[in-house]
Amino acid sequence: MKRINRVVIVIALMVFGFSLKSGDRPMHEIHSMLMFNFIKYVEWPAEAKAGNFVIAVVGDEDVASTIQNFYANRTVKGQNVKVVNVDNVNAVNNAHVLYLSSNRSREFDAAKEKFVGKSTLLITDKSGLGRRGSCINFQEINGKLKFEINQESISGNNLKISNQLSSMGILI
C-alpha cells in the first residue's frame, strides 16, 4: 500500500509538473525519481532482456548515485541493474537508458548517432533536444519541470511506452 501511494504521488507530480522554486528537492533527485518511473512505463524488445539492465549517466555524479540508491537490491524487467557513471558518451558502449546531463548536451549529436536504432532510451535535459531526437527531454515550462516525449525517436529505437506515460508528457 505504501508503494502504491508513492507511485500515485510521483505520477501526480509528473502530470502537474514539479515546481522549480528554491525550497524544493535538488534537481538531481527530481530527475532521478522521474527516470526511475519512466523505466517502469517503457518496454524493451526481447533481445534487450539478457544480461544486466544498464543505466548510463553522462556528466552528473549526483544523478548516478541517486539512481544507484533507488535500484539497490532491485531488478528491472527481471534484470539486475548496473548504473554506469561516465564523463563522456564515448565511454558508453551499450545501455538500456542513457541520461545526458545539461552540462554534457554538446555531446548530444554523438550520443544520438551512437545509439540510434539501438534499444536505448535517451533522456536529456536541455531545451530543444527533444525535437532534435532525444527520446525524453526535461523541459522547464512556466517555472515547472515537464518532459517531452519524441515518439519517433522512441519507436526508432525499438522501444514502446505505455499510454499512461504518453498522457503525462508533451508529445512531439
Note if the pTM is more than 0.75: yes
Number of neighbouring beta carbons within 10 Å of residue 145: 20
Instruction: Please indicate whether residue 47 or residue 24 has the higher confidence score (pLDDT).
Output: 47
22-33 average pLDDT score: 80
77-103 average pLDDT score: 94
Q: Residue 4's pLDDT band (boundaries 50, 70, 90)?
A: low
pLDDT (0 to 100) of residue 39: 94
91-106 average pLDDT score: 95
Do 14 and 37 form a contact (C-beta atoms < 8 A)? yes
What are the chain's domains?
2-171 (3.40.50)
Phi, psi of 25 (to 5 degrees): -55, 155
pLDDT (0 to 100) of residue 20: 47
Do 83 and 55 form a contact (C-beta atoms < 8 A)? yes
pLDDT digits (tens, 9 = 90+) for 30-87: 999 999 999 999 999 999 999 999 999 999 999 999 999 988 888 998 999 999 999 9
pLDDT (0 to 100) of residue 25: 78
pLDDT (0 to 100) of residue 16: 46
